[in-house]
């Protein structure tokens, strides 16, 4: 017997049915576009430098940023690396080489987060990746490895290693094209990936469940599939230099504030800090306005003097650049995250990436 649907679920299902014809049209258009690139009618430029693309098939958060950070940690000890991103959410236009005075409005929140974590990394944002590539390769010295952020559908640049990130809780094989579904292109697009990472898995994912996902995912013989989970570090204060663990806060009322693509795993983790949890959600890459800040502050005051805000690492990047009242900023904490490859395959993943870089770097591989 099928479970009964709630009113909201029925409305969503009906709305998706209404949008289905538009999804068919969207699938057709994106399929034609891919066919033009596959046939060479539309040009895809290759470059004489190792290019690693990290992207996804769906809209919303799949955890690309922590995977990109893992790649940077892996490669920067031996290579002069650069990150090329569109800089989603920024208010500027054209190619920008990020400097120390960068902000979310000039380069976007995710590039800024990565730049702050890896100050020696060259960070470039450009809507047209080809313009960004031309700029990077004219630097002296030019980067030896370039990471392309969220570039799976940006086919004007041809990556040497393409990594597709999917969400365990929102499997692509159960999805459909926009606007009825969340896919940016038909599922057949997954065949372009060299590596598929099923991210946000439970840390105790079983071999049985892993095999079940592999059967449904149907990777090609050449594709390597890894499973990963998101690990959370200790809570850290938003603006204070005090990086000690937040002791004694577990029983305080918590207001969870997010502006990310898929906040469900974050909320699930934050529930472990408190018995009294309230939530405020904003769209992905949301630029917090003065009205938003007042809303957060008013909600926090209503929850009592001991209440605190817990937010995501990406949201913290944007909140730091806002004019927050001191009474609010000192109550805001964020959760740093780190991606971990499951089933003792992290070394295999790293070896796969490094092997590609070494094989495509010639004699000038090490910076």
Q: Are the C-beta atoms of residues 199 and 228 closer than 8 Å to each other?
A: yes
Half-sphere exposure of 61 (CA within 13 A, CB side): 21
> Is 132 annotated in some ligand binding site?
no
CA-CA distance, 100 to 120, in Å (whole number)?
11
Sheet containing strand 224-232, edge to edge, reads 96-97, 122-125, 81-85, 145-149, 51-55, 161-167, 195-199, 224-232, 337-341
> Is 45 annotated in some ligand binding site?
no
CA-CA distance, 300 to 302, in Å (whole number)?
5
> Is 63 annotated in some ligand binding site?
yes
> Is 58 annotated in some ligand binding site?
yes
Contacts of residue 253, Cβ cutoff 8 Å, sequence gap at least 6: 274, 276, 277, 278, 303, 304, 306, 307, 308
Q: Find, among 341, 351, 199, 349, the residue nearest to 261 by Cα.
A: 199
> Is 130 annotated in some ligand binding site?
no
Radius of gyration over every alpha carbon of the chain, rounded to an integer in angstroms:
21
CA-CA distance, 87 to 80, in Å (whole number)?
21
Tokens of 225: 């599939």
> Is 108 annotated in some ligand binding site?
no
> Is 208 annotated in some ligand binding site?
no
Of the chain, the end-to-end C-alpha distance in Å amounts to: 62
Q: Are the C-beta atoms of residues 230 and 200 closer than 8 Å to each other?
A: yes
The DSSP code sequence of 285-354 is: T----HHHHHHHHHHHHHH-TT-EEEEEHHHHHHHTTS---HHHHTTEEEE-EEEEESTT-HHHHHHHHH
> Is 252 annotated in some ligand binding site?
no
- Binding-site positions for ATP read 58-65
- Binding-site positions read 58-65
């Amino acid at each position: 017997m099928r479970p009964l649907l709630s009113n909201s679920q029925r409305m969503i299902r009906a709305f998706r049915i209404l949008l289905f014809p538009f999804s068919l049209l969207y699938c057709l258009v994106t399929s034609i576009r891919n066919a033009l690139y596959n046939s060479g009618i539309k040009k895809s430029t290759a470059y004489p430098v190792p290019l690693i693309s990290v992207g996804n098939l769906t809209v919303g958060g799949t955890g690309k940023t922590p995977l990109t950070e893992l790649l940077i940690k892996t490669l920067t000890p031996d290579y002069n690396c650069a990150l090329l991103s569109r800089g989603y959410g920024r208010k500027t236009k054209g190619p920008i080489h990020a400097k120390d005075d960068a902000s979310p409005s000039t380069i976007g929140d995710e590039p800024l987060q990565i730049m702050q974590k890896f100050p020696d990394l060259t960070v470039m944002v450009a809507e047209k990746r080809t313009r960004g590539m031309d700029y990077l390769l004219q630097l002296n010295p030019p980067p030896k490895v370039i990471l392309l952020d969220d570039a799976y559908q940006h086919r004007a640049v041809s990556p040497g290693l393409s990594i597709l990130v999917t969400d365990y809780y929102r499997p692509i094989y159960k999805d459909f094209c926009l606007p009825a579904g969340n896919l940016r292109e038909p599922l057949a697009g997954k065949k372009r990936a060299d590596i598929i990472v099923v991210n946000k898995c439970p840390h105790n994912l079983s071999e049985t469940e892993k095999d079940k996902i592999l059967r449904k995912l149907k990777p090609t013989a050449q594709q390597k599939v890894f499973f990963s989970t998101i690990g959370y570090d200790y809570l850290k204060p938003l603006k204070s230099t005090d990086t000690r663990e937040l002791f004694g806060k577990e029983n305080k009322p918590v207001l969870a504030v997010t502006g990310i693509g898929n906040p469900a795993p974050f909320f699930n983790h934050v529930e472990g800090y408190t018995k009294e949890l309230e939530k405020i959600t904003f769209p992905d890459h949301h630029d917090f306005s003065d009205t938003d800040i007042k809303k957060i502050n008013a909600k926090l005051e209503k929850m009592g003097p001991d209440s605190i805000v817990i937010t995501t690492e990406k949201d913290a990047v944007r909140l730091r650049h806002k004019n927050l009242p001191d009474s609010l900023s000192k109550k805001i904490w964020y959760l740093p995250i780190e991606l971990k490859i499951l089933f003792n395959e992290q070394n295999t993943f790293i070896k796969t990436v490094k092997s590609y870089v070494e094989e495509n770097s010639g004699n000038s591989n090490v910076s």
